[in-house]
Amino acid sequence: VNYGQHLQNRGRQNVFPAITDLSYCDPPLIYHPSDGGSILVFELWSGRLLKSMVGHFSKVSCLALRPKYEELYSSGTDSEILVWEPTSHMGIKKLEPQKIQ
């Protein structure tokens, strides 16, 4: 699958995307870190960009999913860890970041 020009990783660090469980989400999604402080959400099989979620001030490097609680954790070079959770049952379109205290 070609995820196109949206993916940006100009640094020397590895990035760690997260993929939804194939039986949990239809279509399955891949959450990919980006240099611009955002998380890009793609359909896994088609590569279609669904959403760009912004919350970090610099490069996002690592993502982890916690599907039982519908949470996505992100960290980056801004030294922040954000928890993303749906604010309604509308799916990924209403995700808002929360700082871990």
**pLDDT tens-digit series, residues 19-66:** 888 877 788 888 988 888 889 999 988 889 998 888 888 888 889 998
| pTM given for the model | 0.75
**Centroid of chain to Cα 19:** 9
| Whole-number Å distance between alpha carbons of 47 and 34 | 15
Which tops the pLDDT comparison, 14 or 88?
Answer: 14
Residue 95, pLDDT score: 46
Rounded-to-10 torsion of CA 35, 84, 94, 91: 110
